[in-house]
Amino acid sequence: MVVGPTAVGKTGLVAALAAQLPVQVISLDSRQIYQGLRIGTAQPTAQEQQACPHHLIDFVSPLEKYSAMRFREDFARVYRDLRGRGIRPLLAGGAGMYLTALRDGFLDVPGTSPQNLAAVRARLNLLADPEIRQQLEAVDPESFAAIHPNDRYRSQRALEIHQISGIPMSTLKARQKPDPCLGLRFPTVVLERPVPELDARIARRTEEMLATGWLEETEEALGRFPARCPGLKSIGYREIVDHLQGRLPRNRLEAAIVLVTRQYAKRQRTWFRHVPHASRSHPDDPELVPTIRQLFQPS
């Protein structure tokens, strides 16, 4: 796996690897899955695809919700196909939940049902961040201490698990036995950049995306799909929809996208900080490609 926050430089590293190794990429991205949302999700271009084919991109309708469980199933299917053809897959992306789904499997949460989950989630969605943190500290102090105060998603998920099962998430995790997909090992390379450098790359990429048709892409998607569909809730698309529907002026659009993207990158950095890894380095480190080549060697 090659993982890291958005705009860190995964695409450039993949290109460098593809020039030296017969690899194909299985995308570890929760938004590149959507059909027709090519620019704003930074799907690989046709030229990049020709140099190194990518899988699990551009195959889900924007109307559909997609889950980590479904990703694990799709990964297993694609992995078997590639290995059956003698191709070694490289996972690349920034979806921490998908990474965990592959390496650890899923928590067995007693009492879970679609109806129960939906009801608990609806209640918790109404709470402010401080309320989520306060309630989590009361019922699961271990998870409260382990989760960053600004990580709303993981804090709410931990509280959600307790409300469904009556058992702290930390207790369930301590009981959980790792269940790696297909029994595989997943040596992981985490890419990092200094925050000012990453912020500058996010701003530059946002400007380029808007200049190359992101607005038009979103407008076309709005002609076919409702504004509140899962695909159009993706970062950046939400802001462009607000602009197209008159809620966000054009002169504030780019800054709004940059802001939410930087906030997302911060959450990703927090997530990957705790990921077990074989290597952690800057994408331009000259030792990085040789390190990954070594990880591809049979153990």
pLDDT at 246 over 90: yes
pLDDT at 1 over 80: yes
Per-residue pLDDT of 45-56, as tens digits, reads 999 999 999 999
pLDDT at 207 over 70: yes
Average pLDDT over residues 130-138: 96
Other beta carbons within 10 angstroms of residue 94's beta carbon come to 27
pLDDT at 148 over 80: no
pLDDT at 36 over 80: yes
Which runs of consecutive H residues, i.e. helices, occur in the chain? 10-18, 46-51, 68-84, 96-103, 114-125, 129-139, 141-146, 152-165, 169-175, 195-211, 214-222, 237-244, 250-272, 288-295
pLDDT at 5 over 70: yes
Average pLDDT over residues 254-264: 97
Enter the pTM of the model: 0.86
Which residue did the predictor score with more confidence, 25 or 297? 25
DSSP string, 18-64: HTTS-EEEEEE-SSTTBTT-TTTTTPPPHHHHHHS-EESSS-B-TTS
Average pLDDT over residues 64-73: 94
Average pLDDT over residues 50-76: 96
pLDDT at 139 over 90: yes
* Distance from C-alpha of 227 to C-alpha of 249, rounded to nearest angstrom: 18
pLDDT at 292 over 60: yes
Mean pLDDT, rounded, of the chain:
94
User: Residue with structure tokens 């054009």?
Assistant: 250
The amino acid sitting at 228 is R
Q: For position 258, what pLDDT does the model report?
A: 98
Average pLDDT over residues 142-153: 86
Q: Are 186 and 91 in contact (CB under 8 A)?
A: yes
8 falls in which pLDDT band (50, 70, 90)?
very high
Q: Are 65 and 230 in contact (CB under 8 A)?
A: yes
Q: Are 241 and 37 in contact (CB under 8 A)?
A: no
Q: For position 28, what pLDDT does the model report?
A: 97
pLDDT at 299 over 90: no
User: Residue with structure tokens 């990580």?
Assistant: 151
Closest CA to 182 of 91, 289, 111: 91
pLDDT at 80 over 90: yes
- In the 8-state DSSP scheme, what is residue 107? -
